[in-house]
Amino acid sequence: MVANPFIPQNLVGRRAELNQICHILKSDGDLLLAGVPGSGRRTLLRHAAQTVKARVIEIDCLRATDSSRFLQLLAEGIISEFQSPSELALIQRWSIAQPIILEQLSGGQARLIWHSTPRDEWALFQSLLSLPQALAEWLNCRVVLAFMNFPHIRSWDRTEKWQRYLRQEIQQQTRVSYTLIATFADSWVQHSNMQVIVLGPLKNDDLQPWIVSALAAEGLQFVPETDALQLFLEYVQGHLGDAIALARRLWLDQRALLCAEAVGSQESASKNHSPPSLLFPHHVHRSALALIEDLSSTFESLILLLPPSQVRVLESLALDPTDSPHSREYIQKHRLSRGGGLQGALASLQQKGLVYGPEYHYRITLPLLAFWLRHQIA
């Protein structure tokens, strides 16, 4: 697989949100960072932690299929961040009083292990959650414990016992800032001391300088006298993940075109000695079509998992974006269900991260999905 040179090395926009998160972390605060997949939540948190010189322990709850796997991921996250000899010595000292063993592997690697039954997992959970606080105190540093895809815990923690304990620790630990990364803010967060930061689409003024610079670094340039750049921005609509994907596809398509043109030629194809490849609107459109074709199986699988009422709402918003999906005219035009059925479909799509709420005019959060739906329906 060809590496993606369009993964941003620096933060794209989000300066106001970065300042907010830095302030929260500096003041021992906890936060929920909400936004749709591809909005840059994890990247933003990492930049904020780097700015305030905090250590980050990341746990992807989507990979935790049960409580045992969750404990393994928590232990791996801790060791991944604290692995210098002096830090491992502190963990070794801590483990003496715990039902947990620090195992030193060949090559200098280490891992936390335990021998227990499922009945012992609760005590292990409490012990592991105390370790970041202990390390922060010993090392005189701030630690950020970041739970990606946090709501997925509910898939196995059905009684919410583990979630309740996490909420308790969020309030008590003084050197650890808890960050929950999710698509939306649960109701319990609104009644807690956690601060909520919601990431919407990027503004074109933030996205444009990055994409122009990133493409230029790979020898590509939008033709100024055309609508190529504007067309690119319209396709991605402020979604950084889709912008990265479309930029990469443009780059690959142009590389393939240059290779085809160079067949039989003895001239060097080095970009250091070649003028920039010019991108016209038809290049952008052709690459966007090729990209949604590549993604079609993913989109089809996603649509198959949704109830028909939600699929109908998505198709309507893709074809006809609106600020008022509840209006009588819109419901009649697209033959949508009335009353609670429509409201329930919209709420469920917002929770799944597929549709923005009224603050962003109810549009589909994934622009390429919207483009694919329009292409399928047309």
Indicate whether 288 belongs to any domain: yes
| Range(s) of the domain holding residue 304 | 298-377
Is it the case that residue 274 has pLDDT exceeding 80? no
pLDDT tens digits for range 82-130: 999 999 999 999 999 888 989 887 777 889 988 877 678 888 999 999 9
What is residue 146's predicted lDDT score, i.e. its pLDDT? 93
Average pLDDT over residues 301-314: 93
Q: Are residues 308 and 288 in the same domain?
A: no
pLDDT tens digits for range 256-266: 887 766 665 55
Average pLDDT over residues 210-238: 94
Any idea what the CATH number is for the domain that residue 143 is in?
Answer: 3.40.50.300
Q: Are residues 209 and 78 in the same domain?
A: no
pLDDT tens digits for range 32-61: 998 888 888 999 999 999 999 999 999 999
pLDDT tens digits for range 341-358: 888 899 899 888 899 888
**Distance from C-alpha of 319 to C-alpha of 376, rounded to nearest angstrom:** 11
Average pLDDT over residues 209-227: 93
Indicate whether 141 belongs to any domain: yes
Close Cβ partners of 341 (under 8 Å, ≥ 6 residues apart): 309
Handedness of CA 341, 346, 347, 352 (dihedral sign): positive
Output the six-digit token pair for 42.
Answer: 């994890």
Any idea what the CATH number is for the domain that residue 317 is in?
Answer: 1.10.10
**Distance from C-alpha of 79 to C-alpha of 318, rounded to nearest angstrom:** 45
Tell me whether residue 335 is exposed, middle or buried, using C-beta atoms within 10 angstroms of its C-beta: 0 to 12, 13 to 18, 19 or more.
exposed
Q: Are residues 174 and 87 in the same domain?
A: yes
Percentage of the chain surpassing pLDDT 70? Answer: 94
